[in-house]
A and B are shown apart, each in its own frame.
Chain A
Amino acid sequence: MCGGGLAAHMAAAALARQLPRSIQVVWVKWRDPRDTDLFYGGVSGPTAYSFNLSAGVSEPRLILGTDTAFSWGTRFDDWGASHPSWVQCFHLPLPVVGGVVYHQHLLRLGVGELEPLLLPAVAARRGVFAHPPENGSGPLSRAEYGYQFDPYSYREPFGMSATSSGAQVIAADIAEVDCREGRIVALRLANGQSVTGDLFVDCTGPDARLLSPLGVRAPQGRQLKAALSHSPGGKPGAPCRILVARDFGWQSETSLQSGRARLTIFAPETEALALAAHGATPSHHGEVVIGRRDVAWAGNCVALGHAAAVIEPLTHAPMLVLQREIERLLTLIPVSHDMFVERREFNRQGAADHRHAENFHRALFETELPFDTAYWLAARAMPVHETLALKLTQFASRGLLVAFDLELFNAEEWTIQHFGLGRRAARYDRLADQQPVNELQTAFRNSAREIEKLVTSMPSHGEYLANLIRYLKQKQW
């Protein structure tokens, strides 16, 4: 496998750790001059915990070894003409009341605010954090969390896990990719070495240095640029990324252990405006085309991360898709030279994952836009897939959440987005009428009070991290 960014580190760790010793993982650690890791967005979702663990990176290791902090999700501010603000948080399934899904009762009561009923959303706004108990009851046990991180430090423990799990690392540039009959035969490195393999894993970023020579077309989407900078110092702030709509695109602030990361995403046409608004001198710049290649696996080469597709980091989707790609590759490590079945299934699932991510992101622009500038118009001009059209139509019609096989975003995430953007349904499930209104109102009020009370007693994100780090150090993790 080849690459030097976040995708390469994570894939190397997962492959080296989980594959049998009979499969040798050779990692050509090539530093991509076109650094695009900032496009992963610095935020991951609840599945990161188990993914990382299976790649040999435990949460204590991540917290002690990197700048990573906890995340309840992303807060969107001013994301629309009416300046809506909501926390796109992570949450376990919402309760079903009287056989009717939760949000239908809210629609019936005309309650537009879902947030007071979601602990992670309230906690995110207050800047407090605590681990949800595994087998507890109460609203905290229904909350889920991910991480917010600096991709350049986040990847390091994965690299260490890869090497300790037996990956053979070669630090070198690629000079040439030797292809024959639609397959890669060898990588010729700048140091004169030649690397052969049965399967080549391309983690070389958007240029897809391995996949491209096999004739796989690059994506043809809209162009985006990004700038990332870090301002050190201060206590960690909110355990959620704060993402604000701007005329040039958007800007996010992410609290890490040692400071804040600012990410500015913008259309190339408005670069001057965006960089001026970014303020601090960016430590990282990037430019990408959003979209996916026709296939991520061609011949004996499979592309992961940005080599396969670039997803705008509006949510944790870029990290989620990357994790799923790596997990899928592990499930589909070829058992023969032919690889036909593996290739077809990897590409089929990859296309589906990408569509799911695209749907969720495209839906964010199905609102009255806050600006009519290049970024917003281009985003809005992206086609609405028929599956998304169905989702939007059904929610508008009767608050129904249409779901397809193995989606990336669950029903709660869609509900939160719909409510966050102020979408309302023309009807609600009439079975909701069976619950007495006053009982429901009391139940919702009590639930909001319980959350409020609990959140008030929770430590600030900074305090929690400090105590956790102290504890972990004492335990000598």
Chain B
Amino acid sequence: MPDQIRNVCVLGGGTAGWMTAAALSHKFKGQPLSIRLIESDEIGTVGVGEATLPHIRNFNSALRVGEPELMKATEATLKLGIEFCDWGRIGDRYIHPFGDFGSDFHGVPFHHFWHRLRELGDTTRLDEYSLAIMLAEMGRFTTPATDPSRIESTFRYAYQFDATRYARFLRRYSEANGVIRTEGKVVDVTRHATTGFIESVRLDRGDSVGADLFVDCSGFRGLLIEKQLETGYEDWSQWLPCNRAVAIPCETRGPLTPFTRATARKAGWQWRIPLQHRVGNGHVYCSDFISDDEATEFLLANLEGPPLAAPNKLFFQTGRRRLFWNKNVVAIGLSAGFLEPLESTSIHLIQDGITELIQLFPDREFAQSDADEYNRRMGLNFERVRDFLLLHYVANQRDDSPLWLHFQNLKLPDSLQEKLEAWLTRGLIIKYEFGVFLPPSWIAVMLGQNLVPRGHDPRADAAPADLLAKNAAAIRRNVLAAAQAAPDHAAFIRQVGAASETAPLVAPSSSIVDRPPA
């Protein structure tokens, strides 16, 4: 066996940095691997992605982190999907659930039967066959059943949490696992004269940190992957032109919803993520179509409660690093690329990056084949998320602003174009195996945004119409009964001991920001 890597340096202590440190320190526990994380309290973190995908639960359970403990520490709520408002047409709403619609019959996906019923005059929403949606709409929650024959097994869930607290939680976890945190800012980098590999970084306090492998979690700047190695960036803004975001938390109003909301706006969209102690809000927009001030004002005017902090502005370019792994640097998080958080994929892509790094963990010879395979896999992950995000913009009928008109004439990537054609022609979802979004996600968005297929799988016509209607009604009844039997979302959080001990945050009487009238 070649020489093993003994030192890893994680540069940056945001969500990506601490997730990486936590996972590596857990996975390589007991092995001669020293992990050092460099961060500076003076550099703020983006805390990107307060909403997550169900896969995060695998990450946490692999770390053997208890759910109530984590939820308490991060003010987490439970998430059954995302509610999309005003996508498609203004006034529309739908939920993209973490779960299935009905169940396949003789290999034919359920939505084909729904489509046939629709042609026969049935006006039932497909949503009524999804337990995740029904629970979300009722503001209820329960954990999925493990018995696959039960309707309660047909959904999954994720969290909405405070990403900064999540990083803090993982910092405690990592340090307990032996990760050494070094406070400081990188002021200089030493590279190998012939290979160009990073040998060490020098910090503003004068100390130098050397390592075999560097994980660049330094955010958009990409201190090592870009500033040093000049890896290059693949710009995807021709497809996803939003390039700014402004974020602000506000007081909670109304019941605790087990879903994130994304509302389409004239020049982008607005997120709402309910946590236990506050609501996270943000406005993602394209600066070609709205000024920064207007975007901020618009967000402030559309908060449900008083703001709790000053607006935080982010500037980004959608795309990905040309190489995620270059020489002895692996970029994870915002240094690897950025895709707007419309489908809560930011933390998921961090998780993907970590998982692949562990699977392809190099040795000191740094075989090029390890990096090539990592880059291939992460490239595919990013591309498939990109296509799914783009779907939301192109599958709509809005023409009320230049942004939406822009999408009407967009040339799509072939992979997405073919998916749309297959769906519209006959409700066919072109499947893939490697990628985060499964067919129910594609169905939810396409139907939710009024892309109703012209046809369906002819096999759905095989059953007599009355029998089909009867069976469909039975599924709806089951779903409804299961949803009604579940407790209220907030009550569930209390029941499982995951309720935060922090009182809901309240804005100071003199508001931090001047809030324009709603």
Contacts and interface: CB of A to CB of B under 8 A. Distances in A.
Contact of B28 (A327, A336, A398, A431): A431
Contacts of B29: 434
B462 A405 contact: no
B363 A427 contact: yes
Interface in B443-495: 454-459, 461-462
B63 to A, nearest CB: 12
Interface in B22-56: 27-31
Given A341-B421, A341-B428, A393-B369, A430 B31 contact: yes
Nearest to A427: B1
B503 interface: no
B369 A397 contact: yes
B458 A23 contact: yes
Contact of A431 (B27, B363, B418): B27
Contacts of B430: 345
Contacts of B62: 99
A154 interface: no
Contacts of B4: 430
Main secondary structure of the interface of B (DSSP, over half): loop
Contact of A22 (B434, B456, B461): B461
B458 A335 contact: yes
A193 interface: no
A344 B359 CA distance: 35
The size bracket of the interface on A is: 35 or more
Interface in B408-431: 418, 421-422, 425-426, 428, 430-431
Contacts of A433: 31
A335 B462 contact: no
B31 A434 contact: yes
Contact of A341 (B106, B369, B425): B425
Contacts of A22: 458, 461
B455 A336 contact: yes
A345 B30 CA distance: 49
Nearest to B435: A405
Contacts of A390: 373, 376
A18 interface: yes
Given A398-B370, A402-B373, A431-B28, A333 B1 contact: no
A9 B463 CA distance: 24
Contacts of A398: 360, 367, 369-370
A445 B370 CA distance: 32
Interface string A20-48: 11110000000000000000000000000
Interface string A327-338: 100111101100
B422 A345 contact: yes
A21 B431 CA distance: 28
A222 B422 CA distance: 35
Given A341-B428, A397-B370, A428 B1 contact: yes
A133 B462 CA distance: 33
A341 B426 contact: yes
A18 B433 contact: no
Contacts of B459: 18-20, 330, 333
B418 A344 contact: yes
Nearest to A339: B425
Contacts of A330: 107, 459
Contacts of B422: 341, 345
A394 B373 contact: yes
Contacts of A295: none
Interface residues of B, number: 40
A151 to B, nearest CB: 25
A406 interface: yes
Contacts of A427: 1-2, 363
A54 interface: yes
Contact of B454 (A335, A403, A434): A335
A20 B462 contact: yes
A280 B203 CA distance: 81
Contacts of A307: none
Contacts of A327: 107
A335 B426 CA distance: 7
A400 interface: yes
A54 B107 contact: yes
B348 to A, nearest CB: 19
Interface string B89-117: 00000000000000000110000000000
A13 to B, nearest CB: 14
A20 B373 contact: no
Given A54-B106, A341-B425, A406 B432 contact: yes
B458 A19 contact: yes
B236 interface: no
Contacts of A406: 431-433
A331 B428 contact: yes
B461 A20 contact: yes
Contact of B433 (A341, A344, A405): A405
Contacts of B1: 427-428, 430
Given A406-B432, A430-B31, A335 B373 contact: no
A53 to B, nearest CB: 11
A42 to B, nearest CB: 26
Contacts of B369: 393-394, 397-398
A446 to B, nearest CB: 24
B455 A335 contact: yes
Contacts of B359: 400, 429
Contacts of B428: 331-332, 341, 345
A337 B383 CA distance: 33
B462 A18 contact: yes
A20 B370 contact: no
Given A335-B455, A398-B360, A427-B363, 7 more contacts: A21-B462, A22-B458, A333-B458, A336-B425, A341-B421, A405-B434, A430-B1
22 contacts: A19-B458, A19-B459, A19-B462, A20-B459, A22-B461, A335-B425, A335-B454, A335-B455, A335-B456, A336-B454, A340-B425, A345-B418, A345-B422, A390-B376, A398-B360, A405-B434, A407-B433, A427-B363, A428-B1, A430-B28, A430-B363, A431-B27
Interface of B: 1-2, 4, 27-31, 62, 106-107, 358-361, 363, 367, 369-370, 373, 376, 418, 421-422, 425-426, 428, 430-434, 454-459, 461-462
Interface of A: 18-23, 54, 99, 327, 330-333, 335-336, 340-342, 344-345, 390, 393-394, 397-398, 400, 402-407, 426-431, 433-434
